[in-house]
Amino acid sequence: MELHVRGRKFLEGVRAITCYIVPLHAASQSQWAQLNLVQIMEYKVMDNETIGIFGGSGFYDFAEAGVEEIRVDTPYGPPSDKLARMTVAGRNVVFLPRHGHEHTIPPHRINFRANLWAMKELGVTRIIAPSAVGSLQPNIAPGDFVINDQFVDRTSGRIDTFFDGPVVTHVSTAEPYCPSLRALAIAAARQHGVTVHETGTAVTIQGPRFSTKAESRWFGSQGWSIVGMTQYPEVALARELAICYTAISLVTDYDTGVQIEGGTHVEVTDVMAVMRRNVATVKKVIRTMLEKAAPVRECVCAHALDHARM
């Protein structure tokens, strides 16, 4: 079944808020969206919280019953694909493949604002975001999981905020990842026998090219843990929407600047082979997280905008 959301009710499960997006020119449309965003943050989410998942097409078989596909229009253009609403482990889940169902959208072309806005619009309050990364440190091996606690932005030109005015807003990303979801991910990974690194700094590069050796060595020399192409601005936009967010970084290879015995430069075929092996494991980890997640979040992420507006 497919639904199409246009003039829409924000935050399914939120008390009596209906906002309609009118066809304005780009600047005014963004401002209108921001005013509605500020308004909806004042309302309390009820008990039927929905958890979002960003990932690949392999997650469609998560559903315990039928999958409801929903096409969502946003003020920022279309998301990467239709969103899939389903029930997993007794929880309401919304899934979106960030690269599109057929993996046709490269990292630097992802419409991150539309993806996050669409999630918020369907009532998502927490997001679990697995992604493939390269290791920047010899002790983080292919097949390991890293539960990020920090990021470094090395992208260029990506649109990375909802707040373009008229409400001037400065959201803190000092601790960008949800502490409750991170703890849940670490425990679930351990339960399934995964070698998991409980902290890690993720460097986001622009892509689609991989790093040079000089870049990779510099990243590693700073003590940063992993490198990928999708963490930023996804995590920062989630914080601007007061959505809890945790990344599960799936290490597929040693990045090109890491010195290991028998190491080679990065090839797409190598990355995909390890990624396929990781997918089955991360699905088990996420299912366990859904089973053990509290019905309603109690972390600080919901208050991200409390003191952020000028």
User: Annotated active-site positions, please?
Assistant: 253, 255
Closest CA to 291 of 144, 128, 146: 128
- Give, in degrees to the nearest 5, the angle at Cα 134 between 196 and 291: 35
Query: DSSP 3-state assignment of 261?
Result: coil
CB within 8 A of 51, min separation 6: which ones?
A: 91, 92, 93, 94, 124, 125, 126, 127, 128, 290, 293
Q: Tokens for 182?
A: 């991170």
Torsion sign across C-alpha atoms 122, 123, 125, 130:
negative
Q: Which residues of 241-265 are buried (b: 16+ CB within 10 A; e: fewer)?
A: bbbbbbbbbbbbbbbbbbeeeeeee
Q: Taking phi first (over 0 means left), then psi (-120 to 50 degrees means alpha), and beta for anything else, what does residue 7 get?
A: beta
Q: For 37-112, where are the E strands, in sequence order?
A: 50-55, 68-72, 83-88, 91-97
Give the closest residue to 120 by CA, choosing from 76, 179, 153, 181.
76
Pairwise CA distance, residues 229 & 92, whole Å: 28
Residue 256's alpha-carbon distances to 103, 179, 181, 220, 231, in angstroms, are 24, 31, 31, 11, 20
Report DSSP letters for 161-191, one per residue: -S--SSS-B----SS-S-HHHHHHHHHHHHH
